[in-house]
Structure 1
Amino acid sequence: MPNGELNPTVYDVAARSGVSIATVSRVLRRPDEVRPETAAKVMDAVRELGYVPSASARGLAGRRTQVIGLLLPGHQEGDPVPDPGPATPPRIRDDRASAEQAAEESGTGGPVNLYYDEVIRGAEGEASEQGFALLIAAGTASHRERLVGEIAGRVDGLVVLAATLGDELLARTSTRVPVVLVADSGDEHDLDHVVVDNEQGMRALVTEVLRDAAVRDIAYIAGPEDSPDERDRRRGFDRAIDDARDDRTEFGDAADSPAVRILRGDFSVASGRRLADRLLAEAGSETESDAGSGVRLPDAIVCSNDQSALGVLQSLTAAGVDVPGRVRVSGFDGVEAGRFSTPRLSTVRQPMADLGRIAVRTLLRRLASPDAPRQRVVLPVEVLLRESAPPHV
C-alpha cells in the first residue's frame, strides 16, 4: 500500500483511484452525486484494497449525526398519483371488497404493517432514550440501491430488517456504516444479529395443536422459500411432526400419523385465503359429518405467519366451516389483528417491540466499540393458545 500501513486508509483509496479524498468520501456517502464512472473507479479501489471506513473516516464529512437509520422491506410499486385538479364533490363508491381483494389492493397484505409498526415503536423509543433520532426508509425494489446510498450518508448506523437488502448491497453498505440485522437467522454476514427463536416457537405451537389425538391431518401454509423466518419455522414444524409420529406409533397409530400437506404461500392475507379456498375446493361437498367426496379438510391448518392465518380464517368463515370445531387454525408473529379476529387467533408472539429496541441498543454498542466481537441476540417467544386452536383438555 502507498503509505505502508497495515490497514488501508481513505488516502490509499484516493491514490489508487486517482481522485481526491473528498471525492472518495462523496462516493462512500452519496454515490448518486458522483459520476458513475468515477464511482465505479473508487469502488474498485475499495474492493481491491479491502478498505473499510472507520468511524473517524466517515467523519471526514462531519461529526456524528446522532441519527440511526431503520430499513424496512420495500412496498410494491403502485399506479402513479394523478396531479390534483379543481375541487370536486366527494366521490361515493361501494367499497365492500372481499378480504382477498382488500389484501391485494393494500400491496403488503394488510396486517404485515402491524409487524413493522411494533418494531418501529421499539426502535424509536430506545433511540430517543439514548439521544438519537430514527430515520425510517422503505423504498421500492427498483430504487433500493439509490435509497440506501442516500440514507447511509446521513446516519451513524443502520438497523436492517431481513430480506430488505440483497447480499451484495448489504455487504457494500456494511463497509460504510455499522449494520445490525433484525430477524435474519442466516450466518453468511459477519454482522450483529437480533433474532427470535422461530424454530422452537413453531415446534412448541405445533406440539400443542397435536396434543389432541383427533388431529390426524394437518396442513402447513409456508412462507416464501427465501425467507430466513420461514426456513426456521418450517424446521420447527417438521420436528414437531416427527415428535408426534414417534409418540403416536408407540400407541399403535400408523407411522405417518398425522398426515401432512404443505402449501406454499407468500406471508400475505391474500395467499392464506387463496390456499384455504383451494383446500375447500379439494374437499368438495364435505360437511361437518364428514360425508364428503374422499378428500377431507385438514383437522388443523398451521400458518407460517399471522397474515396467512387471518386469510385462512376469512376463507373458512365465509364457507361456514366451524373454527375450531372442524378445523383448528394458528399463525405466528402475534400481530395485534389476531387479538380481534373471530375467533381470536392462536399464535406464537414475537417480542416485536423488543426486536426494535434491542437492535438499536446493539447498534449503539457497535458505534461505541467498533472492534468488539459480533453479537447474536436470540429473543424468546411465547405460544398464545386462543379460540382458533384452544388448549387440549
Structure 2
Amino acid sequence: MRHRLKDVAERAGVSVKTVSNVVNGYIHVRPDTRARVLEAIAALDYRPNISARNLRRGRTGIIALAVPELDIPYFAELAKHVVSAAARHDLTVLIDQTNGDPEQERLVASGIRDHMIDGLILSPLALAGADLDASATTTPMVLLGERVTHGQADHVAIDNVAAAQDVTAHLVALGRRRIAAIGAQHTAEAATARLRLAGYSEALRAAGLARDEELIVPALAWHRADGAEAMRALLAAGARPDAVVCFNDTLALGAMRALHDAGLRVPDDVAVVGFDDIEDGRFSVPTLTTVAPDKADLARIAVDLLAARLAATDPPPREQTVPHRLIPRESTGTALSPHP
C-alpha cells in the first residue's frame, strides 16, 4: 500500500503541513521535529507523489530535448548528460529527433507538444532566426549551438571560432603547412560550419599561410561516410594535404579510414583533428586529436537555465559560453599518454 503524507504525519505526531515542509526542504523546522518526520518517512518507505505535486502546480514535470540526429554520437552523449542534469531537478526528459528537417524543427519550436512538456531544450539545425521568431511560443526554451534568434530563449554554446583556431594553430605548431578543412557548408542556416571555417581561416592568416580553396571540402552531412567521401575527393583532385581539420569527430573517423585505404599514414603523412571528443575517438587507431566541449557542463547549464525559467516570470534571455579544450592524441602524433 502506498503511504500518504497523512500516514507519515500520524506516525510522527505532527501536522500534514509539517511533513510537507520537511519533504520540500523548508528550513524552518525544529531539528527534533525534522528527525521524527524523517524517521517516519523511512519506516513507512514514503515516497512523494511527484505527478500529483506537478499537477497542483500546473506542470507535467517533463521537459523535451530536441536534437537533429540521435545516431550522431555527440548528440547521444549530450542527451545522456541532459537526462542526468534534469534528474537533479526532479524532471523527466522526453527525447525528440528532428532529423534537421525545417518543418519538424518549426513544429517543435512552436510548442506543438506544449500540452505534454513544461519546457524545451532545442538544438536547431535547419531553422534561421526568422523561423524561430515566427514560431514564438509560451513554452520556455533554451537553444543549444549557434545563436539563431534574439528572442526570449536562453542560449548555450561553445566558442566555435576560438575552438577552430586552437586546433588549426596546433597543426601549424607541428610544422604542417597544407592544412585542409572538411565539413564546410554554405547554406544560410549552417552557422556552426561557418564559424569553424572562420576560425580555421583566421589561424592560417595568423600563421602567414594563404587559405587554399582547393583544400576546403564541403560536406552536406557530418557522418563517417561523408568524411571518407570528402577525403577521397581531396586526394583524387591531387590537392595533397599534410593535415586536415574535420568539423566533427565522425567526419574525422571517416577521413582516417579513407587515408588508410589510400595507403597514407596518420599522422606521418597526414595529421587529422576533429571536434566533440566522442568516445569512439578515444579508441580509434590512431586515437583522435579533438576539441572537447564540456558536454556535462553544457547540459547542466541548459537544464539549470530552463529550470530557472520555469520558476521565474519571463526572465530576460541569457547567454552562456561553455569552455572547450584541445586534447592532443595520436592522430597528430602528440598523445599526452599511451592511453585514450
* TM-score, scaled relative to structure 2: 0.74
1:141-163 alpha-carbon deviations (Å, 9 max, x no partner): 36555566542221111110132
* Gap regions ≥5 residues in structure 1: 1-58, 76-107, 246-254, 284-294
Find the counterpart in structure 2 of residue 244 from structure 1: 207
Write the mapping of 1:212-361 to structure 2, written as runs, cut at 5 A: 212-213=174-175, 215-225=176-186, 226-245=189-208, 256=210, 261-265=215-219, 266-283=221-238, 297-361=240-304
Q: CA deviation at 1:202?
A: 1.1
CA RMSD, Structure 1 to Structure 2 (Å) = 2.8
Does the 8 A contact of 2:151 with 2:317 survive in 1? no
Identity, % of aligned pairs? 31
Instruction: Note if contact 1:119-1:357 (Cα within 8 Å) is conserved in structure 2.
Output: no
Candidates 381, 384, 387, aligned match of 2:324: 381
CA distance in structure 1 between the partners assigned to 2:320 and 2:108 by the alignment: 28
**Cα distance in 2 between the residues matched to 1:338 and 1:67:** 33
Displacement after TM superposition at 1:129 (Å): 1.1
Contact residue 157 and residue 321 of structure 2 kept, 8 A:
yes
Q: CA deviation at 1:345?
A: 0.8
Corresponding residue of 1:101: none
Aligned with 1:121 (options 80, 96, 113): 80
Counterpart amino acid of 1:263? V
Gaps of 5+ in 2: 1-53
- Report how many residues are paired: 277
Deviations 1:235-290 (A, max 9, x none): 21111111110xxxxxxxxx63889721111312111101111122233xxxxxxx
Q: Corresponding residue for 1:24? A: none
DSSP 3-state at the match of 2:60: coil
- Separation in 2 of the partners of 1:144 and 1:196? 21
Query: Residues 130, 159 of structure 1: CA spacing in aligned structure 2 closer, same or farther, 3 A cutoff?
Result: same
Whichever residue aligns with residue 192 of structure 1, its letter is D
Q: Deviations over 1:104-147 (max 9, x none)?
A: xxxx8x5x2x1112211111111111111111111453655556
Equivalent-residue separation in structure 2 for 1:335 and 1:374 (angstroms):
30
Determine helix, strand or coil for the equivalent of 2:85.
helix
Q: How far, CA to CA, are the matches of 1:313 and 1:239 in structure 2?
A: 25
Look up the match of 2:48. none
Q: Would the aligned equivalents of 2:106 and 2:135 in 1 still touch at CA under 8 Å? A: no
Other-structure match for 1:54? none
Query: Do 2:143 and 2:156's aligned partners in 1 also have CA atoms closer than 8 Å?
Result: yes
**What residue number does 1:132 align with?**
91
- Verify the 8 A CA contact 1:185 1:229 in the aligned structure 2: no
| Secondary structure in 1 matching 2:222 | coil
Find the aligned partners of 1:267 and 1:146 in 2 and give their Cα distance: 24
**CA 1:210/1:346 → structure 2, altered by over 3 Å: closer, same or farther?**
same
Letter in 2 for 1:201: A
Task: Give me the whole-angstrom Cα distance separating, in 2, the residues matched to 1:190 and 1:232.
Answer: 23
Distance 1:164 1:116, change over 3 A: farther
Q: Note if contact 1:301-1:330 (Cα within 8 Å) is conserved in structure 2.
A: yes
* 1:1-393 equivalence runs, <5 A: 63-73=58-68, 112=72, 114-139=73-98, 141=101, 149-163=111-125, 165=127, 167=129, 170-213=132-175, 215-225=176-186, 226-245=189-208, 256=210, 261-265=215-219, 266-283=221-238, 297-391=240-334
Structure 1 Cα separation of the partners of residues 230 and 121 of structure 2: 34
Question: What displacement does 1:186 show?
Answer: 3.6
Q: Determine the structure 1 residue equivalent to 2:38.
A: none
Q: 1:270 to 1:208 in 2, by over 3 A?
A: same
Question: Separation in 2 of the partners of 1:382 and 1:220?
Answer: 19
Normalising by structure 1, report the TM-score: 0.64
Residues 182 and 305 of structure 1: is their aligned pair in 2 closer, same or farther, counting only changes over 3 Å?
same
SS in 1 for 2:174: coil
Q: Is the 8 A contact 1:180 1:363 kept in 2?
A: yes
Aligned-partner Cα distance in 2 for 1:117–1:143: 19
8 Å CA contact 2:287–2:331 kept in 1: the answer is yes
Superposed CA deviations along residues 334-364 of structure 1, whole A, max 9, x for unmatched, are 1111111111111101112322221111011
Question: Would you say the 8 A contact 1:218–1:259 is kept in 2?
Answer: no
Deviation at 1:165, TM superposition (A): 4.8
Task: Quote the residue 1:79 is aligned against.
Answer: none
